[in-house]
Amino acid sequence: MGQYAMWSLFLSIWRTLTRPPEALAVERRRSFEIMAEIYLLALGLQILIAPVLYFSGHVTLGHLNLLCLVGYGVALVLHRRLFIAAALMTKLGAFMLFATYGAMLTDNGNNLIYYLLFAEVELMLADLRRRTKVAATVGMFGVALAIVHLPVLPPLTTTPSTLDLLLSDLGLGLVFAMICAVILRMLAITDRHEHRYRRDATHDSLTLVLNRRAIFERASFHWKAGRAFSIVLVDADRFKEINDNFGHTAGDAVLHHLAGLLRASLRNDDSIGRVGGEEFLILLPGAGHNDALKAAMRIRDRLARMPCQFDGKALSVTLSMGIARSCEGLHLRDVIELADRRLYAAKSAGRDQVVAEGHAESATSRNAHRLAQGIENALQPDDATATVSEDEGDGRASTG
């Protein structure tokens, strides 16, 4: 087995052991992953120092190190079964027993205080109740005071050897290395989870494009910056028939296929958002009338060549589109309402059409009012829209 295969296997095992259970609440997953990595890092360090302890003649300390390995393994198993407090107590108990004996061996109780500080770091990162953390912190502080002011650790040797002192320094260095590694991994895990939270908050879970709030915020950003853009409202024709004839699973497959097709047909700077059940809004920065029309034609051509495949069947879907430019309205709401009027004009003309001109005086549809309300909700502070749950737009009545 080559180095790459070994590394891949190691990473696979690491991810498996640190991956939070699916049933675990989202807000608890970061702490779970951090603590799981602490147990694995500690396990790795104890494995590394095991030969050193035995080769240096410290058999008892080596046996305690093996006890630590067993304790860390048990702690990891308990942690994965969500016995968080029991796991931490098992790990800290084995570690402090090992560290205490090492401090007695070198007649240096001050080192034990550094070990207590690392135990405090673990305690603060664990998913425990606040009062439990406070009580444990007070207890460790009391132990630290006793170590400093009282002769609570009788030395095992009258004069520690040079080797003993080197082992003491090695242990201290490993504590600092662990603190550094834990903090770096904590930052990396935190960044990854925050990225996932942001993605989940701004993207539609089914199609993976922007949700309604996010696409409206992006459009508002361009509008306030005075940048020219075009908006294309896209609606899947007779989508309700797909749900009725093939089931909602087929409908979901069509929406996912359409979202991927839209992304593949547009530029990197363009944005796509799902604003209704089967309705998407495309934001084309810097695009004029001809550019927006060309983009719409690319989408139609690609869809004609690449229909959605479901259970071995090609589900034929056409799109109706309405296009409006930012210069065609006094407010962003006006531009989106105009694009919606043109979308409905495309449907009224027989569907599978693109309308990019006229209809400025057409009657405003109920869908336009819904989109306008969506803009207002999207641009309000989060607390003002806490009761609005339309990001995915699943409740939109199908227009056919």
Under 8 Å between Cβ of 53 and 62 = yes
Mean pLDDT along residues 48-71: 90
3-class state of residue 272 by DSSP: strand
Residues in the chain: 400
Distances (CA, A) of 230 to 58, 226, 281, 302, 338: 75, 13, 10, 20, 11
Q: How many CB atoms lie within 10 A of CB 110?
A: 12
For position 17, what pLDDT does the model report? 92
Q: Got the DSSP string for 42-104?
A: HHHHHHHHHHHHHHTT-HHHHHHHHHHHHHHHHHHHHHHTT-HHHHHHHHHHHHHHHHHHHHH
Which residue, among 198, 209, 194, has the nearest Cα to 392 in the 3D structure?
A: 209
What is the DSSP secondary structure assignment for residue 158, as one 8-state letter?
S
Q: In this model, does residue 149 exceed pLDDT 90?
A: no
Strands 271-274 and 279-285: antiparallel
3-class state of residue 213 by DSSP: helix
Q: In this model, does residue 282 exceed pLDDT 90?
A: yes
For position 366, what pLDDT does the model report? 62
What domains does the chain contain, in order, with CATH numbers? 3-202 (no CATH), 212-385 (3.30.70.270)
Computed over every residue of the chain, the mean pLDDT equals 85
Q: Report the predicted TM-score, pTM, of the whole model to 2 decimal places.
A: 0.63
As a whole number of Å, the CA-based R_g of the chain is 31
Q: What is the pLDDT of residues 20-33, one digit of tens each?
A: 988 888 888 999 99
Q: What is the pLDDT of residues 346-396, one digit of tens each?
A: 998 888 899 998 876 665 666 666 676 666 666 665 544 444 444 444 433
> Which tokens is 133 given?
């953390």
